[in-house]
Structure 1
Amino acid sequence: MGVVQNKIIDNPFLLWVKTELSQRMAQNLAFIKIEPKRIFLENKIATNAVKELKAIYPKASFAANFKIRKSLIESILQLKAFFAKKAPKNSHLSKYDLIWSSNLAIPKHEMTESQIKAWNELNADDGLLMLTYLGPDTAKEFQEIFLSKPDIVDMHDFGDLLVHCGYSDPVMTMEYLKLEYENIEILFKELKALNLFQGMNEVHENKDIVEKITKLRNSDGKWSLTLEIVYGHAWKVVKKKEHIVKIDANSILVKKK
């Protein structure tokens, strides 16, 4: 199993969200003492966030599943072609001390487990996985209007899945980031980009929904959009080798009564 390829999103708002998540997650590195030699960056983030990580770990080599200008970071490896081929079994080239993943959303069900197993395969033994994604309370202001919650795994369930898929000592935390909008059209555009609710494509045609959203303005005449940011990190467990001792049956002495 190789890395799960995520669709590269060039929408400026979505790129800003993922970059903001990545930069906020980087603040947690002050509490985690590691010196990774090889780092894998998953999901497209802005160049400034990559430069920040490079500054924190100047001796590390980086790889990514998205294109980064080599003129800025010459040590970045382009692995797109590499992952198109089947990597040799137990190849050290496919193992990373740190996997850095900034997601917009991690869906529930079997997709979650598949994603974690892909990370686990890329992680070196005792390697660290650090991830951040938008949690299920994202856009909570609009969930009653659309009569649904985003199909995103809860952080407590995610922590359990990390252990199930071969990680240890998972730590999951969260915080809220509130955005404010003066223009309802920009709000609609960015809600649509987040792809959390059905019916956003036809929202302008639904006068009832438009009216309900219009009434959500606060006393300043602005709309709020909450982003639930989930952070997690866990260590890959080293698989213990099975020690089997073979004993010749003829060497077993049976004590006679």
Structure 2
Amino acid sequence: MSNQRPPTIDPVAAGHWQRVAPATSPWLHEEVGRRMEDRLQWIRLDPKTWADWEPVRGGLEAHALVERRYPQAHTYVYEPHPQRAALARQQLARPWWRRWSAAPVQHGAVPDGAAQMLWANMALHMAADPESLLAAWHRALAAEGFLMFSCLGPDTLQELRGIYAALGWPPPAHEFTDMHDWGDMLAHAGFADPVMDMERITITWENPQRLLQELRGLGANLHPRRFGGLRGRAWRERLERELASALRDADGRLALTFEIIYGHAVKPRPRFKVAGESAVSLDDMRAMLRPGAGKSP
């Protein structure tokens, strides 16, 4: 992908955010997860194994919805950071009377080719190297398994970007990738049949203080040209005045737009060109010969 296209992310800032992100599931993430889970009704494949990629930030309530839809499926939970991994173990632990009757939950890295579905809610737009993340998801999926993901799109915070631009300030957030570019990256990562769609959600607040508090919980500004240091009280007070003036809707509340992108793609079975002599790994040979080859979710 060209470096001129989003995401415009400072990798050092992205790494720092991944380490310090609150161990909570923001309301917006839970709502997006609920809407994405509803889309599973259109998927024909009933996965026997599925993986939730960073469910603490992605939404623990959304995780429960998926688990309820696939009650007999073996679940992998991937949380790479210790604090959130501990919380995931605590929050997703089953009561003792269900431990022997319910399908198992495995915490830690997802073995290559283990998951028939990989669920990744609201993670991709914070990745400094999204192609590497897509490649990791591709490795975790079994052949003919499918990916379900969501992320923020480029119209997110358009009103806030307008305020910052009018004041001559650096961008308030990094740029978010368009769904068509995500489709290209999915194909480049080896996925097939990508299906992308989007919607816009408007969230309102009663005052600038609550708005800024919730934005801090949703993420951080990872733009390379963001403000280089801390701002003082006078700057914060001016920002609050600008928000209160520019974001009022018809009901007198402060409104911001969030563009939500939903993506679905399949990991196809390996295909090889016919040649005089070909080398095929044992795992790929097993995938090609497995019963049901050629079907898709």
TM beyond 0.5: yes
CA deviations over 1:217-237 (Å, ceiling 9, x no partner): 223221002211110000012
Aligned positions of 1:1-257 closer than 5 A: 7=19, 9-10=21-22, 12=24, 15-43=26-54, 44=56, 45-66=58-79, 67-68=88-89, 69-71=92-94, 74=99, 75-80=103-108, 82=109, 94-106=113-125, 111-147=129-165, 148=171, 150-193=174-217, 194-196=219-221, 198-199=226-227, 202=231, 204-206=233-235, 207-216=237-246, 217-245=248-276
- Give distance in 2, aligned partners of 1:203 and 1:195: 18
2:259 maps to amino acid: E
The percent identity for this pair of structures is 26
- Give distance in 2, aligned partners of 1:107 and 1:158: 14
- Give distance in 2, aligned partners of 1:201 and 1:20: 32
CA deviations over 1:59-93 (Å, ceiling 9, x no partner): 2111111424322574453432x56xxx6xxx6xx
Secondary structure, aligned partner of 1:210: helix
- Give distance in 1, aligned partners of 2:63 and 2:116: 17
Between Structure 1 and Structure 2, whose CA radius of gyration is higher? 1
Structure 1 residues 78 and 222: CA distance shift in structure 2, 3 A: same
- Give distance in 1, aligned partners of 2:202 and 2:23: 20
Tell me the equivalent position of 2:294: none
1:96–1:123 Cα contact (<8 Å) kept: yes
Q: Which runs of 5+ in 2 are unaligned?
A: 1-14, 80-87, 166-170, 278-297
1:102–1:131 Cα contact (<8 Å) kept: yes
| Matched positions, count | 231
1:55 maps to amino acid: R
1:107–1:151 Cα contact (<8 Å) kept: no
Q: Which moved more, 1:207-216 or 1:59-68?
A: 207-216
Structure 1 residues 174 and 215: CA distance shift in structure 2, 3 A: same
1:79 maps to amino acid: H
- Give distance in 2, aligned partners of 1:203 and 1:177: 31
Secondary structure, aligned partner of 2:125: coil
CA deviations over 1:95-151 (Å, ceiling 9, x no partner): 21000001255258x711111111101011111000001112111111112233632
- Give distance in 1, aligned partners of 2:157 and 2:42: 30
Structure 1 residues 239 and 105: CA distance shift in structure 2, 3 A: closer
1:53 maps to amino acid: V
Structure 1 residues 65 and 48: CA distance shift in structure 2, 3 A: same
CA deviations over 1:193-221 (Å, ceiling 9, x no partner): 33247459638532543332121222322
Secondary structure, aligned partner of 1:23: helix
1:214 maps to amino acid: A
Tell me the equivalent position of 2:284: none
Tell me the equivalent position of 1:252: none
1:235 maps to amino acid: V
